Amino acid sequence: MMKTVAILLAACNGERHLSEQLLSIAAQKHTDWQLWVGDDGSTDTTRAILSDFASQVDQPVHVVDGPCQGVAANALSLLKHNRLPPDAAVAFCDQDDIWYPHHLGDGLAALQGHTGPALYCARTDIGPDTGTIRTQSPLWSREPSFANALIQSIAGANTMVLNPAAATLARRAAAGPAPAYHDWWLYGVVSGAGGPILYDPNPALLYRQHDENQLGRNRGFAARYARIAAIARGDYRGWVTQNTHALMFDPDVLTPKNLELAQAFMALRDRRGWPVLTGWRKLGVHRKSGAETVIMATAAAFGLV
């Protein structure tokens, strides 16, 4: 039975909100955890806050130097750390959220019984603080799949819990080139290996929105406009390329069927016009929203995705 959870927290100058996140970790109903923090060269009081927290809890707190290459690189460097317990489940953590007390327990309960790679993820409440929840992340109705993971992430890494088999798989896959976004990539790694993606419709945490967020939320008109702008600039095409190359680096990570799907998808991206639209339909590549699938496929037909 899974018990220990290695919580991986990518930190950088987080003094404004870090204490609240740490308190929410300490308040977890599941108490068998250890905290691993990658500090990307903080120049504020982040280290002092972590040291004070470590002195107040019974659980182990490890602080290591991050690679100073952004959040995704920091998180994956923690995942690959040679002292991380290999038989622990892994949960990813942002420095400015507030976890609900049931988060780790719900994740482990969902993963229980899965001996192969499996990934738990959840919805989030969204707002500047616990007293001002403005909305929630989308409630997806379609089942998660690798065909979806090629062009979309359905949940933030801050909600993800990997069982030990998925953590081992992700460490192996992380030996390749860096992905664009580690949550998007993790969704692709586990679903691509044929593992279940256990999406929880109940919010696991408060995803705090403020002017210092490195990654924005994915709901509403502003978020959709940002995606369209990223497509027009060519950014989205670059992200898809980077993520898919990272997924395909070790062919044995993916099932033969999903490797074939990824290869066909990448080959299709060299084509233009109507064959791209029919190719997307044949491969089943899609976003959770039908309207956004049409937008993406149309953009792909012009070489923008």
User: What residues have CB less than 8 Å from 73, skipping those under 6 apart?
Assistant: 66, 67, 178
Q: How many CA atoms lie within 13 A of 294 on its CB side?
A: 3
pLDDT of residue 224: 61
pLDDT of residue 213: 45
pLDDT of residue 219: 44
Beta strand pairing status for 33-39 and 61-65? Answer: parallel
User: What residues have CB less than 8 Å from 5, skipping those under 6 apart?
Assistant: 30, 32, 33, 34, 88, 89, 90, 91, 104, 108, 161
Q: What are the structural domains, with CATH classification, of the chain?
A: 5-208 (3.90.550.10), 221-301 (no CATH)
pLDDT of residue 211: 52
pTM value? 0.93
Separate counts of helices (H) and strands (E) for the chain: 12, 11
List helix spans (H) across the chain: 18-26, 46-54, 71-79, 103-111, 146-149, 164-173, 182-192, 221-233, 235-248, 256-268, 274-283, 290-301
Tokens of 194: 């044929």
pLDDT of residue 129: 80
Please state, in angstroms and rounded to a whole number, the distance separating the CA atoms of residues 37 and 77: 10
Work out the number of other CB atoms within 10 angstroms of the CB of residue 142: 13
Q: Over the chain (305 residues), what is each successive 10-residue block's mean pLDDT? A: 88 96 98 98 97 98 96 96 95 97 98 97 91 88 95 96 98 95 98 98 90 47 70 93 96 97 97 96 94 93 95
pLDDT of residue 222: 56
pLDDT of residue 131: 72
Cβ–Cβ under 8 Å, residues 160 and 185 = no
pLDDT of residue 215: 44
**Burial of 175 per CB tally in 10 Å (0-12, 13-18, 19+):** exposed
